[in-house]
Amino acid sequence: MTFQTVSTKPIEGQKPGTSGLRKKTRVFMEPHYLENFVQSVFDAIGGGQGKKLVIGGDGRFFNATAIQIIIKMAAANGAAQVIVGQDGLLSTPAASHLIRLNKADGGFILSASHNPGGIDEDFGLKFNAANGGPAPEGLTQLMFEATEKISTYNIADIDDVDLTKIGSTSRADLQVVIVDPVESYQALMETLFDFDAIRDLFAGGFTMRFDAMHAITGPYATAILEDTLGAPSGTVVNKIPLEDFGKGHPDPNPIWAKPLMDLMMSDKAPDLGAASDGDGDRNMIVGRGAYVTPSDSLAILAANAHLAPAYRSGIVGIARSMPTSAASDRVAKKLGVEAFETPTGWKFFGNLLDAGRVTICGEESAGTGSDHVREKDGLWAVLLWLNILAVRKMSVAEILRDHWHTYGRDYYSRHDFEAIATDKANALMTDLRARLTDLAGQSFAGLTVASADEFSYLDPVDGSQSNQQGVRVYFEGGGRAVFRLSGTGTEGATLRLYLEQYAPPEGDHGVDPQLALGQVRDAAQSLCRMEAFIGRTTPDVMT
């Protein structure tokens, strides 16, 4: 057995985005590409010597090959132990849990999340730290700096590990432990929720469809919902993880999970519809005839969390990403707990969770989670919804209406403009930034700007500052528009326009959201000169 030190050169563009490094799969497969990034992670964390690491991914094309390379590099960098999901599979929240459970030094998660998979689609890799959460900004910067000065990487000349066999083997001084990907995650869920109450719910005839979108949650949802909670076989659909997600786009929103949406809006709809994304950290919740926006879902989960055993004594605070609607702030206010507004991306919640300042976090992009792990968690959200439904004995639509009646409704939608030429998207943002201080008092499409700024975040725990996190424009009358560029795409730029309009408790809550948001949308498009900069005003995706 030999360790090799391979000469290499820095490769441009290895800067992690909102959630790790995402590129076309073929780029990741180029010589040294994966190796350079993995070695840079080891360099950024002070080397691999004696370290214990968790490794797993969402099963997309190149997952298993990349895992073998990472194991060989872990061995050559002196790691003591790697804990790997069987067949190379781990959902992102399960990986986060395994890091925490085993007191590991961190973990490699192989996923491009909701991006499509396959040799011509996307691949991704991110490193999570010892708290189980995505590398914070400081560590991410160190990783990127290491990619810019790398000259060699270490790799061991050892046999591939059989990822199909649960158990422990050794490669040189490295212990490789293959674990069931579901087992300890399921055990964690059983400590959080009232499984008996949910079992009774299903036994009483409650119906559900969970669309795993041929991604990682298939095995998890089948084991938990069908095999443990007694939901009938067939409740989980598209349950086999495929390397290309069945050529689908594993993003649980009304566009990409359209078959589920269609079912839920039909007269054959079950009581609850849910879906998750490529790596299992996102969720979509839809009741019979009632789509729940992720921002509302966050607020409802926070307002009702005390109905589940884990949160019975109350929550300490709620954090939401800046573009997420203010619905959860209203809940925090009523509960008398702190509310935080953070930049987009789960890495910003880690410090707040570690410091015990918040219990529940969420993002408008269909991510919700709590202090049980340090990632968003799709199945956790579904189980908390089920627990709430089991206790309240109301339908999803009734819970939604009741919530709006108490807090008012934050109409919400995100409009995505994809594959824009990067220079055009940048020009739009630069122009908008330059005009920000003059916007207050100006009117666009009949709406007057009350205030506008560019969001910066001062982390209250470690004092770090993150600038240029999106432009916020508040209108008179309770409307808000947010503009930012995506940090997870692999082709050109994606402009995200987030629209929000508040209707108070006594207001009308039954308007079609796109209609309710029409004026804010028109004002937003006009004030950013969208047509002039990118030549279009029709979004590719509206969530």
Supply the residues annotated as catalytic: 113
Structure tokens at 516: 């309710």
Name the DSSP class of 17.
Answer: B
Residue 113 Cβ vs Co ion, minimum distance, rounded to whole Å: 3
Residue 279 or 296 having the CB closest to Co ion:
279
Give the x/- contact pattern for ligand VG1 in 69-108, rule: CB under 6 A. Answer: ----------------------------------------
What span, in angstroms and rounded, lies between the C-alpha atoms of 485 and 477? 26
Q: Which residue has the tokens 């990127």?
A: 144
DSSP three-state, residue 410: strand
Closest residue to ligand VG1 in the complex (CB): 113
Minimum distance of ligand VG1 from residue 280's CB (angstroms): 9
| Stretch of 172-180, 297-305, 420-428, 486-494 contacting ligand VG1, by CB under 6 A | 486-494
Query: Are the C-beta atoms of residues 86 and 256 closer than 8 Å to each other?
Result: no
- Pairing verdict, β 208-211 and 236-237: parallel
Question: What are the tokens at 473?
Answer: 């424009």
SS3 340: strand
Under 8 Å between Cβ of 117 and 247? no
Going residue by residue from 1 to 30, which x/- string records binding to ligand VG1, judged by CB under 6 A?
Answer: -----------------xx-----------
Q: Where are the alpha helices (DSSP H) in 193-326?
A: 195-203, 217-221, 258-264, 294-304
Interaction pattern, residues 315-354, with ligand VG1; x per rule: CB under 6 A: ------x----------------------xxx--------
| Contacts for 22 with CB less than 8 Å, ≥ 6 apart | 112, 113, 115, 122, 123, 124, 488, 489, 490
Taking the least distance from each CB to ligand VG1, the nearer of 82 and 95 is: 95
Q: d(Cα 350, Cα 346) in Å, to the nearest integer?
A: 7
- The CB-of-65 to ligand VG1 minimum distance in angstroms stands at 21
496 binds, among Co ion, ligand VG1, none (CB under 5 to 8 A by kind): ligand VG1
Number of residues that bind ligand VG1 (CB under 6 A): 18
**Residue 486 touches which member of Co ion, ligand VG1, none, C-beta under 5-8 Å by kind:** ligand VG1
* Residue list 100-159, contact with Co ion (CB under 5 A): 113
Shortest approach of ligand VG1 to residue 162 CB, angstroms?
29
The amino acid present at 299, given as its one-letter code, is: A
Residues of this chain, 399-418, that bind ligand VG1 according to CB under 6 A: none
- Of 262-291, binders to Co ion (CB under 5 A) are 277, 279, 281-282
Phi first, then psi: what are they for 123, rounded to 5°?
A: -135, 160
Number of C-beta neighbours around residue 113 at 10 A? 29
DSSP 8-state secondary structure symbol assigned to residue 540: S
Where along the sequence are the contacts to ligand VG1 (CB under 6 A)? 18-19, 113-114, 277, 281-282, 321, 344-346, 363, 365, 367, 486-488, 496
Which residues contact Co ion by CB under 5 A? 113, 277, 279, 281-282
